[in-house]
Chains A and B, each alone.
Chain A
Amino acid sequence: MTEETIQSVVCTVCGCCCDHLEVKTKDNAIVNVKNACAMSTSKMLGYMNERLTQPKIRRGDKLSNSTYNQAVDSAARILAKSKSPLLYGWSLTSCEAIEVGVDLAEETGGFIDNTTTTCHGPTVLGVQEIGESSCTLGEIRHRADLIFYWGANPVHSHPLHMSRYSVLSKGRFRKSRSERTLIVVDVRKTDTAKLADVFVQIEPNRDYELLSAIRAAVRGDEIEQDEVAGVPVERIEEIAEKMINCEFGALFFGLGLTMSAGKSVNIDAALSLVRELNSKTKFVIMPMRGHFNVNGANNVMTWLTGYPYAIDFTQGYPRYNPGETSAVDLLAREECDSALVVASDPISNFPLQAAQNLASIPLMTIDPHETPTTLCSDIVFPSTHVGIEDTGTVYRMDGVVLETRKLVDPPKGIKSDVEILRAILKRLRTIRRLG
């Protein structure tokens, strides 16, 4: 019987990448976890639930057990025949796996995209257009006296964000809640909004107007309307005053901005507001990244191809044009002839028509668990959990790089994403060489 308590474990759920977890293992199983949020506890204690244990290949209507080598060979043959495969997912695996994924995409001459495409893609577009005044989460924890959550509900989406990095944390220079002001902007009074000093209830799909009005107020321009986006002008002017007069402001934003009408222009407006505030005070902005390594996917894909997501290799060199080369658009237009999904569940998360088109082409999935995507797949590879059964590098939402720990050995025969992808790439190259 072996028992071990492992400190400073990096959580692999959301973009917070909390690195203060304490995990107890016994006989190669996780038995307890401390300092984790509800989602993280669920993952750590449930990592063996609905586990895939054997590669599978679809024969007729059913997925049947297969050997690993047969599955690798079949997957490589599908990719070899494809003219426009889509390699999708990547945000719940390691940077090391993503690197192999990019090599595989280049070898196949297909598309590679990650979950940014249905999450903070508009944020990336905005940052490319305007630029990002930012810093690490540690700086915000220690210095910020004014904090916004706009279109984000961290109590539900990033449960430890406030206590680790913002209003409820103990910073070096801001030691308590009373030294911070929290402003929440949302269309409904969420559990996060209930904790705010100021809650601004905005009409749905009106974020661009409100951001523009705040920008005008910050500039000192007069706003002619009585209210904008359902918010009285007096309130807008108060918010602008608070922003100008703070010592260090931080604006966290979520999918309320990226998914509502306007999408990337909402982000343009938010980034511009923060940039303009820096002529009066110190202000930063940061997107609340949803997955533990979506930022890693952006970084790896950028340093290898020049682009952070929605990359097209069909011309023999990387091209990037979200709206054209992004996964949902490609699938909606039926432009892909096969797909390899890694550590993601697009059948659940993509709009129905795009998901149906994905299910209708040869679909291969690499995942630790059974999901709707694996249920629809033609080839399924069981894989290990990064940060539980395998190490791997990840990027936190603020760009800080963290090394995850291996806590337990994986179930017998289960390989890592890196190994599986390397095997498929090697087999694909062999098939191509042999003609």
Chain B
Amino acid sequence: MTGIQVTLLTGRSLGQGRAKEHGKLSELYLQSVACCEVDAEDLKTIGVTNGQNIRITTEHGSVVVKGIVPTQTSRRGIAFMPYSLWATQISGSDTDGTGMPSYKGIPSVIEAATEEKILPLEELVQKSFSRKTSKKGRK
């Protein structure tokens, strides 16, 4: 099955809010934020059932998270991810001259990734911010 286009929103969820106060290195936090709410019909179109992994890709990057049917009423073509390091993997730094990146209304493609793993937070940090390839300090 191929991917489908959706508009991605990132934002707060109560689960994300509770879990970030509990601790960002915790399993509770990972479960609360490494996910993407997608309308049930859209999940079906890409061949994924509720709770299976999906890959979400924008022009800025790609990340694997759990695809879940929204707890709040959804509509087809809209996907929602709570704020987190998984969400910012696919966000762009262009602020349109305002200082504010575009964290909502992002054109995205979602596809099944049922055989792929969600990277735990510390591994994601290691992969994204590897100090071996970093350039420390400026001359």
**A residues engaging B (CB < 8 A)?**
13-14, 38-40, 42-43, 46, 49-50, 61, 117-118, 121-122, 125, 153, 155-157, 159, 187-191, 193-194, 201, 204-205, 255-256, 258-261, 263-264, 290, 309-310, 322-323, 326-329, 331-332, 337-338, 345, 347-356, 359-362, 369-372, 375-376, 378
Contacts and interface: CB of A to CB of B under 8 A. Distances in A.
Contact of A39 (B9, B21, B60, B91): B21
B99 A372 contact: no
Q: Which 9 A-B pairs have the closest CB atoms?
A: A326-B99, A189-B73, A322-B99, A323-B97, A332-B93, A42-B21, A43-B21, A359-B129, A157-B12
Contacts of B94: 332
Given A204-B78, A360-B134, A360-B135, A118 B125 contact: no
Given A263-B100, A323-B96, A355-B88, 14 more contacts: A38-B17, A121-B100, A153-B11, A153-B12, A156-B11, A259-B104, A260-B105, A263-B98, A310-B99, A338-B137, A352-B88, A352-B89, A361-B138, A362-B137
Given A188-B80, A352-B60, A259 B102 contact: yes
B137 A347 contact: no
Contacts of B18: 38-39, 42
Contacts of B89: 352
A354 B11 CA distance: 19
B91 A117 contact: no
B98 A370 contact: no
A156 B18 CA distance: 10
B95 interface: yes
Nearest to A338: B137
A265 B92 CA distance: 20
B9 A352 contact: no
Interface in B96-119: 96-105
Given A260-B105, A263-B100, A352 B128 contact: yes
Contacts of B92: 351, 353
* Overall SS of chain B's interface: loop
B24 A50 contact: yes
Contact of A351 (B60, B78, B80): B60
A290 B103 CA distance: 15
A118 B95 CA distance: 9
Given A259-B103, A350-B88, A351-B101, A337 B138 contact: yes
A88 B100 CA distance: 15
B14 interface: yes
Contact of B101 (A40, A261, A328): A328
B26 A118 contact: no
Contact of A347 (B60, B71, B78, B125): B125
B14 A39 contact: yes
Nearest to B134: A360
B128 to A, nearest CB: 7
A322 B128 contact: no
Contacts of A205: 7, 105
A46 B71 CA distance: 25
B13 interface: yes
Contact of A370 (B24, B88, B96, B138): B24
B101 to A, nearest CB: 5
A261 B75 CA distance: 20
Nearest to A62: B131
Given A38-B14, A290-B12, A349-B83, A356 B129 contact: yes
A258 B131 CA distance: 33
Contacts of A125: 98
A93 to B, nearest CB: 16
Contacts of B78: 187-188, 204
Nearest to B14: A156
Contacts of A351: 60, 88, 91-93, 101
Interface in B1-52: 7, 9, 11-14, 17-19, 21-26
A355 B75 CA distance: 32
A2 B15 CA distance: 33
Contacts of B93: 328-329, 331-332, 350-354
B104 A348 contact: no
Contacts of A348: 24, 83-85, 88
A259 B105 CA distance: 8
A158 B4 CA distance: 33
Interface string B58-75: 001100000000111111
B22 A326 contact: no
Q: In this complex, which of A43, A156, A350, A362 has the most chain B Cβ atoms within 10 angstroms of its Cβ?
A: A156
B23 A50 contact: yes
A122 B101 CA distance: 11
Contacts of A372: 24, 85, 121, 125, 129
A250 to B, nearest CB: 21
Nearest to B98: A263
Contact of B99 (A260, A323, A355): A323
